[in-house]
Chains A and B, each alone.
Chain A
Amino acid sequence: DAGVIQSPRHEVTEMGQEVTLRCKPISGHDYLFWYRQTMMRGLELLIYFNNNVPIDDSGMPEDRFSAKMPNASFSTLKIQPSEPRDSAVYFCASSLGGWETQYFGPGTRLLVL
Chain B
Amino acid sequence: DQQVKQNSPSLSVQEGRISILNCDYTNSMFDYFLWYKKYPAEGPTFLISISSIKDKNEDGRFTVFLNKSAKHLSLHIVPSQPGDSAVYFCAASAGGNNRLAFGKGNQVVVIP
Contact = CB atoms under 8 A, between A and B. Distances in A.
A45 B97 CA distance: 13
A104 B44 contact: yes
Dominant secondary structure at the B interface: loop
B102 A102 contact: no
Interface stretch (A64-72, A78-86, A93-101): A93-101
A55 B43 CA distance: 23
Interface residues of B, number: 23
Given A42-B2, A100-B49, A106 B41 contact: yes
B98 A48 contact: yes
Interface of B: 2, 32, 34, 36, 41-46, 49, 89, 91, 93, 96-100, 102-105
8 contacts: A43-B105, A44-B102, A48-B99, A56-B98, A99-B93, A99-B98, A105-B43, A106-B42
